A = this chain, B = another copy of it.
Amino acid sequence: MASWIEIKEDSDFSLRNLPYGVFSTDGPKPPRIGIAIGDHVLDMSVLAADGVFDDIGFDVKTITGETTLNSYAAQGKDVHSKVRKRLQDLLEKETKLGSLLRDNQGRRARALVPMNSVKMHLPMAIGDYTDFFIGLHHAVICADVIKPGAKIEQLCPCFYNLPVAYNGRASSVVVSGTPFHRPRGQVPVENGQIVSGPCRKLDFEVEFACFIGKGNAFGQEIKVDQAEEHIFGFVLMNDWSARDIQFYEAPMMGPFNGKSFCTSVSPWVVPLDALEPFRTLPSETPMKRLLADYLTGKKTKSAYNIPIKATLEANSERYDIATCNTNNVIFSFPQMLAHHTRGGCPLRPGDLVATGTLSGPTKAESGCFFEQTRGGKEPYELKALKMGKGSVQRGFLEDNDTVEFRAQVSLGDGLGNVGFGVCGGKVLPAL
């Protein structure tokens, strides 16, 4: 799968990947759909307008006429697989379709945009955003931090029986690179006085999320074995959290302002097909469990083995926070979608569905400071990525900290990586 376009060995964007994004360039052209390939963005609107997809059998206006991926995602998996095949055929070194792109200098110049010249946008208009809570170690450790000695099934009796979730705030989801101000909010009363001001326990959360392609009708469930038909692709997600605000407001109704100030996603939506080689089993639960029929599917390798690396940048130095993995979950995406729609709730193209924090069992695998520092009580030492550059301590995030997530997988055959680009954001001081 070598390409006639130069793809560096460490690139996230090999021919195996071909993730979708929405980009713009300087000038009057509105944002448009592109594909990441090496250090370039392939402008899909140029190819679609030039008829390169005309024989595939879908409405190319879902590419040429749109500033988000929603309409294209709604076309369904068959179309996406055919377009993906066409793109690989166009881009591979020994392409038989050379005249369509490689050997057409004019079209190449219009269609291939250097990645360092583009601005990325939120790839989809998000109708609803759902955040699950299916990370095994995250739940187990958080339970113990919240109430020392407590097991998660004591705090949340359904935890092992169904994929727990809450509705997040769609309007505050932003694309990687968007900075945000430390949120203000209310925290528990001190000395009989209301306490209102900037968050004192600002945290990140390492998550993995899918965007919905084809939706389901009001009242109709999605069966677990058909659920992958509804997944368009995946992104990395940082569910920034204000722990002090969250824990004060959440006892009856769950998280609200503690989460709704910012949620960051990586800009490139990696197709389901690109992750096929990286399937694995979800985590085992500590005790044997029964599952309801609607959660019991045929496909066993329904999770993915993708390490996600989190780093902190402070004072121009980068530090290692942790490496999580998308397989630290006790339910799969198909199970999440089956549960989500079990009562008839409609999912729509562009909806964002996330896993919750993907911690492993050790501190070096913990996906938030809340776990690493036991609620801020035990500051954690982050080592610099560059040898000899020392370390910094954090209880929670400080102003001007930048947190970034990266994930890249390969088959080790030298034929290219599947990566997500950066999911990053910077904490600005409170207003």
- Copies of this chain per assembly: 2
Query: Within the assembled complex, what's the spacing in Å between the Cα atoms of A185 and B291?
Result: 13
B residues in contact with A245, CB < 8 Å: 343
Query: Within the assembled complex, what's the spacing in Å between the Cα atoms of A291 and B189?
Result: 11
Query: Within the assembled complex, what's the spacing in Å between the Cα atoms of A339 and B174?
Result: 21
Which label, helix, strand, loop or mixed, suits the secondary structure of the A interface? Answer: loop
B residues in contact with A221, CB < 8 Å: 184, 431
Q: Which of B193, B253, B255 contacts A133 (CB 8 A)?
A: B253
A109 adjacent to chain B (CB < 8 Å) = no
Q: Which of B161, B169, B181, B185 contacts A189 (CB 8 A)?
A: B161
Q: CB distance B347 to A171 under 8 Å?
A: yes
B residues in contact with A171, CB < 8 Å: 127-128, 218, 345-348, 351
A251 adjacent to chain B (CB < 8 Å) = yes
Query: Within the assembled complex, what's the spacing in Å between the Cα atoms of A324 and B351?
Result: 35
Q: CB distance A257 to B345 under 8 Å?
A: yes
B residues in contact with A199, CB < 8 Å: 343
Distance from A218 Cβ to chain B, minimum over Cβ atoms (Å): 7
Q: Which of B161, B180, B218 contacts A172 (CB 8 A)?
A: B218
The A380-429 residues at the B interface (CB cut-off 8 A) are none
A23 adjacent to chain B (CB < 8 Å) = no
B residues in contact with A250, CB < 8 Å: 253-254
Distance from A63 Cβ to chain B, minimum over Cβ atoms (Å): 23
Q: CB distance A261 to B164 under 8 Å?
A: no
Q: CB distance A292 to B186 under 8 Å?
A: yes
B residues in contact with A357, CB < 8 Å: none
A170 adjacent to chain B (CB < 8 Å) = yes
Q: Which of B159, B253, B262, B340 contacts A344 (CB 8 A)?
A: B262
A165 adjacent to chain B (CB < 8 Å) = yes
Closest 3 CB pairs of A and B: A254-B254, A183-B343, A196-B292
A sample of 30 cross-chain residue pairs with beta-carbon separation below 8 angstroms, ordered by A number, consists of A127-B127, A128-B128, A133-B252, A157-B189, A158-B188, A161-B194, A162-B186, A164-B256, A165-B256, A166-B167, A167-B167, A167-B169, A171-B218, A171-B346, A171-B347, A172-B344, A181-B344, A183-B344, A184-B294, A185-B343, A194-B292, A196-B292, A218-B262, A219-B431, A221-B431, A245-B343, A250-B254, A253-B255, A257-B342, A257-B343
